[in-house]
């Protein structure tokens, strides 16, 4: 579970079948996911691309236990049917297995970079001494060693996003969900972020599911899935580029 390195590249990490999500708007329902099948493997960076409003964030939420679909099934890690679990067990599943990185960073304004990461580890039951050491190490690994004692207001956008990544990676999650993790960043900061996600897949065997609008990120993907109007249009396996072109131009 925590710190588990036993998962092999290519093993299934998550498999969803027939996901349907509807939202009520006024008296009618709009169907945002129209029977989506989806799977992700350990060691893969799986990119989900598609126009605004096509259902990408909704899909990520349904796969990760954040938003209950009306129909369908999500098998993830050792859980045969995520949405059959109690609310408490779904929370535990997210805590044990999932790291989240969103565009808005979701950092606590009052906490330093190190405290942000330590807080995530403490929720998992890691003691303060070890949490401090691991937080320091993971922040150094994302190049924030000199920034550990700064608060979000004292960090750049790219640095904040790296704190969010450090927080997501610190617990060594099996599943990493990233929703437009580079969209608020300049090319250079965006490149740092996507390289860290690539590394988490390659070196730790995490299954990285990354929503993006940015076609330049495809160079880092093992697989690219296009979604439009709540349906998967295509699903292409590719080999990540050995030397991806720089994101900044
Ligand atoms: N809580 C809600 N109530 C009603 N409609 C919603 C709700 N959440 C999302 N929607 C609608 O569902 C559709 C898909 O939303 P979603 O956020 O999944 O799109 P997206 O592909 O992530 O778009 P973007 O690229 O703009 O982030 C949109 O048309 C949106 O308006
Ligand atoms: Mg979205």
Lateral strand order in the sheet of 71-76: 28-41, 12-25, 71-76
CB neighbours (10 Å) of residue 235?
14
Which ligand number lies closest to the CA of residue 52?
1
Q: Is 23 in the pocket of ligand 1 (CB under 6 A)?
A: yes
For ligand 1, say whether the CB of 53 is within 6 Å of any of its atoms: yes
User: Residues of 14-51 as b/e, b for ≥16 C-beta within 10 angstroms?
Assistant: bebeebbbbeeeeeeeeebbeebebbbbbbbbbbbbbe
223 lines ligand 1 (CB under 6 A): no
Cα(85)–Cα(50) distance, rounded to whole angstroms? 30
**What ligand has the least distance to the C-alpha of 23?**
1
Would the CB of 57 count as within 6 Å of ligand 1?
yes
pLDDT mean for each 10 residues of the chain (249 residues)? 61 97 93 98 97 95 97 96 97 94 85 96 93 96 94 92 92 94 84 91 96 92 97 95 83
Using an 8 Å Cβ cutoff, are 64 and 217 in contact? Answer: no
- Give the residue among 109, 113, 158, 104 at the shortest CA–CA distance from 140: 113
What pLDDT is attached to residue 6? 57
52 pocket-lining for ligand 1 (C-beta < 6 Å): yes
Give the separation between CA 73 and CA 82, rounded to whole angstroms: 7
- The atom number, within ligand 1, closest to the CA of 24 reads 4
Q: Which domains does the chain have, with CATH numbers?
A: 6-237 (3.40.50.300)
- pTM assigned to the model: 0.92
Nearest CA to ligand 1 atom 13: 53
């Amino acid at each position: 579970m925590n710190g588990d390195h036993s998962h092999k590249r290519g093993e299934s990490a998550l498999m969803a079948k027939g996901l349907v999500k509807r939202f009520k708007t006024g008296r009618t329902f709009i169907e945002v996911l129209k029977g989506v099948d989806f799977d992700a493997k350990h060691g893969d960076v799986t990119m989900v691309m598609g126009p605004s409003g096509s259902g990408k964030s909704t899909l990520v939420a349904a796969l990760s236990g954040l938003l209950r679909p009306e129909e369908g099934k999500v098998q993830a890690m050792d859980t045969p049917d995520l949405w059959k679990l109690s609310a408490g067990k779904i929370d535990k599943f997210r805590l044990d297995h999932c790291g989240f990185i969103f565009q808005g960073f979701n950092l606590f304004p009052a906490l330093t970079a190190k405290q942000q990461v330590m807080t995530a580890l403490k929720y998992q039951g890691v003691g303060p001494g070890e949490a401090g050491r691991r937080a320091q190490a993971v922040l150094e690994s994302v190049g924030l060693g000199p920034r550990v004692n700064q608060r979000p207001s004292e960090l750049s956008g790219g640095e904040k996003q790296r704190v969010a990544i450090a927080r997501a990676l610190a617990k060594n999650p099996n599943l990493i969900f990233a929703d437009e993790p580079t969209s608020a960043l300049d090319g250079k900061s965006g490149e740092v972020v996507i390289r860290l996600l690539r590394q988490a897949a390659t070196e730790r065997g995490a299954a990285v599911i990354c929503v993006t609008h940015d076609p330049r990120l495809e160079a880092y993907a093992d697989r690219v899935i296009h979604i439009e109007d709540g349906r998967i249009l295509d699903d292409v396996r590719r080999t990540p580029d050995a030397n991806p072109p720089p994101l900044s131009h």
